[in-house]
Structure 1
Amino acid sequence: MTSPTDIKRVLFIGQLPETVDFSDPALPPGFDAAKIHAGIAIGMQQMADRGWAADLCLVPPDASATDAVKQRLAGATYDAVVIGGGIRIPPKSLMLFERMVNAVHQGAPSAAIAFNTTPQDTADAAARWFEGLT
């Protein structure tokens, strides 16, 4: 039987889909905010199906994102933090990506940091770091 302390906690950080520049050639063609929200829902459900407590933190692509992540990290202890591809992939998001990595490093120094490629593989990204931790 799993005790509450055995439950893995995951924070999924992604860019607020309505703020994504879908004309950016670095992003897969055909993406839109609705598809991203649907993918996020799938990823969150996959984590719940694995018995994990998963939280979602969607941020705008500006300086306020750091504060939002810091607030979320201050409210809970996470075993893993997954930073979404929408923050990591577009070259113009480099500064946002660096701010997110540093905010996680400072706010959750014991959490594994993982990266997904799509919202649907968020659970797999976190799972890579849970192997051997059970």
Structure 2
Amino acid sequence: IGDNLPREVGDIGFPIVVHPKDPDTVSVFPMDGTSVWPRTSPGGRPAAFKSSNGGKTWKRLARGFPKEHGYFTTLRQGFVCDQHDPVGLYLGLSSGEVWASADEGDSWRQIAQHLPYILCVEAV
């Protein structure tokens, strides 16, 4: 699925979310290794990437995220979706922040901060 991801998304690994009603629609939150941090947003510019055709093409979705110095780190279980229409996406960070998108990743906003290290997020 990652063969067609843009080079900017990094090479360390990232969580992936499959749309609950359309298995060809997937979202990923890429991370990259640096000389200082083991896994962070590539270039300090966090973004989700979404494919609606099973990974053939990808769209970068960053509206609402910091434009620079956003060195986000999340675990595999820290990126999830809900069952609503449109599907909501949720991203929990090791820094204790939670970010959410109510429009399938088109825009993001911080909904919580100053929490302990986030290991996983669940959407109900």
Tell me if TM exceeds 0.5.
no
User: Relative to total residues, which structure has the larger helix share, 1 or 2?
Assistant: 1
Q: Pick the structure with greater CA Rg.
A: 1
User: Relative to total residues, which structure has the larger strand share, 1 or 2?
Assistant: 2
TM-score for the superposition, normalised by structure 1: 0.27
